[in-house]
């Protein structure tokens, strides 16, 4: 797989402004529209661009609370990771799952309509997940920067 | 806030997977005409529920093999130090996400790097030198998975 400077320039602009229409992206990256379109196609075929997805604003749907829950699992059980992850996938308010190497094993991104709703989810759906050794919660106050940009 | 019906939720589920689906294709999948599907997408966009596009890339193929989440606790607090910290941290190109949080840490950062040595450089030269920075905890991302969230199946809500 060959990625040249033009590809990198295109990706840099695309990642910085993913809503740009192809003609505008071409102009920013200094290539013709045909080149831009052809290269985006090729990057998609190669899997460098893995997906383009719509962003859903959960606040606009009435989910005012977002909490990052960090779990340490009981790793004496060899199935702890698999069983925890399978159970976490069944919780509708979990919008993201990440696994880590470090002090934290798994992080769940949980949304709720308000604090009462969050408390209900936490007690009924989160504390009942299997193999939890420890939980820490970080409540989101504000997202200051959110970008998929890479220093290409 | 607008009420969603099952078709709206189906549209959102589809678009969260494939953001470039046309109104025609969405209509075909769910038995609506192109104009009817287009009106629904327009309504969801105007309500702010569809909030733009996200591009997912194979970071490793582009030479960024390491993603690390940092929990940062500020050593000194107060309005001025928060603003100074935020201004400086958002300017770092390797920092993709900055979230102000309440809990064990004050900020959560998502940092990309070429490899562990590159990450160490970013950590030492850019993060540890930020104004007001105190305790820092690093966790290296192994896998990440976006979930559809509370948009149905019939059993939810």
- Please answer yes or no on whether A148 and B19 come within 8 Å at the CB atom: no
Residue A73, pLDDT score: 97
Residue B88 lies in a domain: yes
Residue B154, pLDDT score: 42
Q: Which of A102, A140, A148 is facing B138, going by the closest CB pair?
A: A102
Q: Are B23 and B38 in contact (CB under 8 A)?
A: yes
Residue A103, pLDDT score: 92
pLDDT tens digits, A70-113: 999 998 999 999 999 999 999 999 999 999 999 999 999 999 99
Residue B91 lies in a domain: yes
pLDDT at B1 over 80: no
B37 min Cα distance to partner chain A (Å): 16
Between CA A59 and CA B7 the distance in angstroms is: 20
Q: Clarify whether residues B77 and B28 are in a common domain.
A: no
Q: Which of A48, A68, A99 is facing B58, going by the closest CB pair?
A: A48
- Please answer yes or no on whether A53 and B56 come within 8 Å at the CB atom: yes
Nearest-CA residue of chain B relative to A113? B150
* Length of chain B as a residue count: 157
- Please answer yes or no on whether A142 and B137 come within 8 Å at the CB atom: no
Element (H or E) spanning A89, and its range?
none
- For the segment B86-112, the average pLDDT, to the nearest whole number, is 96
Residue A1, pLDDT score: 65
pLDDT tens digits, A126-143: 999 999 999 999 999 999
Residue B151 lies in a domain: no
Residue B26 lies in a domain: yes
A88 min Cα distance to partner chain B (Å): 10
Number of structural domains in chain B: 2
pLDDT tens digits, A60-69: 999 999 999 9
Domain of residue B109, CATH code: 3.30.70.920
pTM: 0.91
Q: Clarify whether residues B40 and B78 are in a common domain.
A: no
A137 min Cα distance to partner chain B (Å): 6
Residue B2, pLDDT score: 80
Between CA B85 and CA B130 the distance in angstroms is: 6
| Residue-number span of the structural domain to which B106 is assigned | 66-140
Q: Clarify whether residues B86 and B125 are in a common domain.
A: yes
- Please answer yes or no on whether B140 and A139 come within 8 Å at the CB atom: no
Q: Clarify whether residues B132 and B75 are in a common domain.
A: yes
Q: Clarify whether residues B71 and B117 are in a common domain.
A: yes
Residue B118 lies in a domain: yes
Residue B157, pLDDT score: 42
Q: Give the Cα-Cα-Cα angle B145, B146, B148 (nearest 5 degrees).
A: 135
Ordered by where they begin, the domains of chain A are 5-45 (1.10.10.10), 59-139 (3.30.70.920)
> What sections of B19-69 are H helices per DSSP?
23-30, 34-46
- Which residues of chain B lie closer than 8 angstroms to A100, CB-CB? 69, 139-142
Q: Are B37 and B27 in contact (CB under 8 A)?
A: yes
- Please answer yes or no on whether B56 and A46 come within 8 Å at the CB atom: no
Instruction: Return the percentage of chain B with pLDDT > 70, whole number.
Output: 94
Band (B81; pLDDT cuts 50, 70, 90): confident
- Which residues of chain A lie closer than 8 angstroms to B71, CB-CB? 138
- For the segment B33-44, the average pLDDT, to the nearest whole number, is 96
What SS3 state is found at B91? coil
Band (A152; pLDDT cuts 50, 70, 90): confident
Q: Clarify whether residues B83 and B120 are in a common domain.
A: yes
Q: Which of B59, B69, B149 is facing A111, going by the closest CB pair?
A: B149
Between CA B62 and CA B20 the distance in angstroms is: 23
Inform me whether the C-beta atom of residue B4 falls under 8 Å from chain A C-beta atoms: yes
Residue A37, pLDDT score: 95
- Please answer yes or no on whether B140 and A102 come within 8 Å at the CB atom: yes
pLDDT at B79 over 80: no
Q: Clarify whether residues B112 and B77 are in a common domain.
A: yes
- Please answer yes or no on whether A152 and B137 come within 8 Å at the CB atom: no
Q: Clarify whether residues B130 and B84 are in a common domain.
A: yes
Q: Clarify whether residues B76 and B25 are in a common domain.
A: no
Residue B128, pLDDT score: 96
pLDDT tens digits, A1-55: 688 999 999 999 999 999 999 999 999 999 999 999 999 999 999 999 999 999 9
pLDDT at B156 over 50: no
Residue B128 lies in a domain: yes
Residue B153, pLDDT score: 55
Residue B51 lies in a domain: no
Residue B136 lies in a domain: yes
Q: Clarify whether residues B128 and B97 are in a common domain.
A: yes
- Which residues of chain A lie closer than 8 angstroms to B99, CB-CB? 68, 140-144
Q: Clarify whether residues B94 and B135 are in a common domain.
A: yes
- B5-24 residues touching A, CB cutoff 8 A: 12, 15-20
- Within 8 A by CB and 6+ apart from B96, the residues are A145, A146, A147, A148, A149, B110, B111, B112
- Please answer yes or no on whether A54 and B147 come within 8 Å at the CB atom: no
The phi-psi region of residue B149 (left if phi > 0; otherwise alpha if psi is between -120 and 50; otherwise beta) is left
């Amino acid at each position: 797989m060959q990625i040249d400077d033009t590809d990198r320039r295109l990706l840099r602009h695309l990642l910085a402004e993913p809503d740009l229409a192809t003609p505008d992206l071409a102009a920013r990256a200094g290539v013709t529209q045909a080149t831009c379109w052809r290269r985006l196609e090729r990057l998609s075929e190669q899997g460098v661009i893995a997906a383009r997805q719509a962003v859903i604003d959960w606040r606009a749907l009435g989910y005012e609370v977002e909490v990052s829950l960090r779990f340490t699992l009981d790793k004496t059980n060899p199935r702890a990771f698999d069983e925890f992850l399978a159970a976490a996938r069944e919780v509708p308010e979990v919008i993201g799952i990440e696994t880590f190497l470090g002090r934290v094993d798994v992080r769940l991104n949980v949304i709720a309509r308000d604090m009462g709703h969050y408390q209900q989810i936490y007690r009924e759906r989160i504390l009942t997940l299997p193999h939890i050794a420890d939980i820490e919660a970080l409540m989101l106050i504000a997202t200051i920067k959110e970008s998929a940009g890479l220093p290409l | 806030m607008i009420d969603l019906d099952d078709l709206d939720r189906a549209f959102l589920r589809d678009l969260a997977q494939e953001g470039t689906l046309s109104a025609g294709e969405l209509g075909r999948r769910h038995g609506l005409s192109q104009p009817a599907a287009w009106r629904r997408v327009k309504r969801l966009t105007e309500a702010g529920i569809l909030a733009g596009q996200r591009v997912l890339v194979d970071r490793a193929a582009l030479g960024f093999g390491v993603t690390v989440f940092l929990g940062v606790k500020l050593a000194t607090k107060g309005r001025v130090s928060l603003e100074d910290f935020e201004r400086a941290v958002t300017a770092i190109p390797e920092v993709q996400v900055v979230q102000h949080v309440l809990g064990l840490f004050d900020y959560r950062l998502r940092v990309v790097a070429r490899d562990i040595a590159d990450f160490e450089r970013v950590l030492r030269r850019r993060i540890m030198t930020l104004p007001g920075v105190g305790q820092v905890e690093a966790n290296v991302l192994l896998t990440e998975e976006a979930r559809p969230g509370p948009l149905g199946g019939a059993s939810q809500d």
